[in-house]
Amino acid sequence: MDLREHSGEDVSSLFTTDQLVSFHDSTMAIIAVLGTLDSKGLEHEFLAERIRERGHQALMVDVGSGGEPQVAPDIGREEVAAEIGLELGPLIARQDRGECVSAMARAAPVLCARLQREGRIDGIVSLGGGGGTAIATAAMRALPVGFPKLMVSTLASGNTAHYVGTKDITMMPSIVDVAGLNRISRTIFCRAAGAICGMVETRVESAGERPLIVASMFGNTTDCVNAAVPVLEEAGYEVLVFHSTGSGGRAMESLIESGMVDGVLDITTTEWADELVGGVLSAGPERLEATAKAGLPSIVVPGCLDMVNFGERESVPEKFAGRNFYVHNPQVTLMRTSPAECALLGSKLAEKINRYSAPTTVLLPRGAISVISAPGQVFHDPEADRALFDALTAELREDIEVVSMDVAINDAEFAQACSRALLENIRLVSEGVRS
């Protein structure tokens, strides 16, 4: 079956379940080639031909909103827009390109997520400038971690954080503009075809995989996490550790929401200090929300809420003059959170944790919440710690278990208590017990 014989149709409906299984069992894959086919149709068709030469099917998806497509798509722009109930004609008639790009950036993710969910695509690739990159990466961010995603973009050599988000999107610089076929663009597009084909051809061995636990860690809680992980691994779990640097917290939240996770070892909630006070490592106001949405068993620790992160010392805002600082290295300056800030952090954690529905335990290391908040260390501040603990415990739901220990966060005893509490909460979920 050649998708080119069905231009203009939704070819995803042509495949039966048996055919789709056959495709996955063979070396042939269906790769979505998504782009603005009104302005970059010939370039996408060149890319699609290279994919077909490798023995795979190319599903051409048009997300353009200007003139007529240069090549016939398999899924047209009207069908893409219909995924969100949008009538494209009146929108195009207004000739507001920004509005059209925004609309397609809302519709394309819904379409691609459905095609992936139904097993109708095995990978996705796109070529684009500013608008095309915005639309295509929005679609890619809607796809699961591990699903092959390649974006060839004029913007790939700059700051791509807002295009990639927390997903595994491979960004490939186009070098020249995606505007015609020349000796440079043909080379890049051929390599792109080879890259996406290589991705879909590579099968990931999943047999014997263990259930998954995610954990949050910072340099100041490394010993705690390193001591907790072996206990969980011995119990039969695989543990993925995320560095609480903003992007790490967002990535962990995204993975939790994916449905792949069985438990959450949230030892290092420090990103909330940056979110609240204005540091550089915030994970955003959604941090600690994914566990509630997923209904997962968890433990939560106020790890490293004694610190707010900034860059080099000179970059710290003037309004913080006179505060307690620690220069971690030439590029990282830490600021001690005050008692007032700690009280607000305790309240914020309680607000988030109160939404958890699965068994959850809050563990408080009253000896120190980081390496440098221990007695004799630069951030030791019993008043601030007490404000944090008091606010957190006062505002938590009464049915949420709190374990208070007179040890430091990196003591082996505390680490083992975290692991045991999480394993118990997982056991309760397996037995149908809710918080």
Same domain, 359 and 217: yes
Structure-block tokens of residue 299: 């433990």
Identify whether the C-beta of residue 306 lies closer than 8 Å to the C-beta of residue 269. no
How many Å apart are CA 209 and CA 152, to the nearest integer? Answer: 33
* Predicted local distance difference test score (pLDDT) of residue 6: 43
For residues 278 and 146, state if they share a domain. Answer: no
Specify whether the CB–CB gap between 137 and 161 falls below 8 A. Answer: no
Residue 88: which CATH number?
Answer: 3.40.50.12020
DSSP characters over 48-96:
HHHHHHTT-EEEEEE---SS--SS--SB-HHHHHHTTT--HHHHHHTT-
What is the DSSP track for 231-281?
HHHHTT-EEEEEE-SSHHHHHHHHHHHTT--SEEEE-B-THHHHHHHT-S-
List the one residue out of 30, 126, 135, 31 whose CA is nearest residue 83: 135
Sign of CA dihedral 35, 38, 43, 47: positive
Pairing of strands 149-153, 123-128: parallel
Q: 201, 223, 246: which is the final residue of a domain?
A: 201
pLDDT, residue 88, reads: 85
d(CA 418, CA 300): 9
Within 10 angstroms of residue 192's Cβ, the number of other Cβ atoms is: 22
Q: Report if residue 207 sits inside a domain.
A: no
Q: Are 306 and 371 in contact (CB under 8 A)?
A: no
Instruction: Give the list of residues 6+ apart from residue 165 with CB closer than 8 angstroms, or none.
Output: 137, 141, 250, 254
The answer to whether 283 and 271 are in contact (CB under 8 A) is: yes
Same domain, 171 and 216: no
Same domain, 176 and 273: no
Is 341 among the domain residues? yes
Place of tokens 């998954």: 212
We report the CATH number of the domain holding residue 271 as 3.40.50.12030
Query: Is 264 within a domain?
Result: yes
Token pair of 140 as six digits: 């890619």
The answer on 18 and 106 residing in a single domain is yes
- Residues 241, 168 share a domain: no
Same domain, yes or no: 135 and 249: no
Domain boundary among the residues 175, 201, 227 is at 201
For residues 241 and 189, state if they share a domain: no
Low-confidence ranges of the chain (pLDDT < 50): 1-26
Statement to judge: residues 216 and 323 lie in one domain: yes
375 within some domain: yes
Tell me whether residue 190 is in a domain.
yes
Handedness of CA 132, 134, 138, 141 (dihedral sign): positive
Q: Are residues 219 and 187 in the same domain?
A: no
Task: Supply the pLDDT for residue 11.
Answer: 44
Tell me, what's the pLDDT at 205?
A: 75
Q: What is the pLDDT of residue 435?
A: 58
Q: Is residue 206 part of a domain?
A: no
340 and 230 together in one domain = yes
Q: How far is CA 312 from the centre of its chain?
A: 27
DSSP 3-state of 398: coil
In a domain, 10, yes or no: yes
Are residues 337 and 240 part of one domain?
yes
In a domain, 435, yes or no: no
The Cα 309–Cα 431 span in angstroms is: 41
pLDDT at position 13 is: 46
d(CA 187, CA 176): 11
Q: Which domain holds residue 59?
A: 3-201
| Whether 29 contacts 116, CB under 8 Å | no
Residue 21: partners with Cβ closer than 8 Å, 6 or more residues away: none
Amino acid at 266: D
| Residue that finishes a domain, picked among 201, 221, 239 | 201
Question: How does strand 332-336 pair with strand 307-310?
Answer: antiparallel
pLDDT of residue 204: 82
Q: What is the pLDDT of residue 237?
A: 97
Domain count, the chain: 2
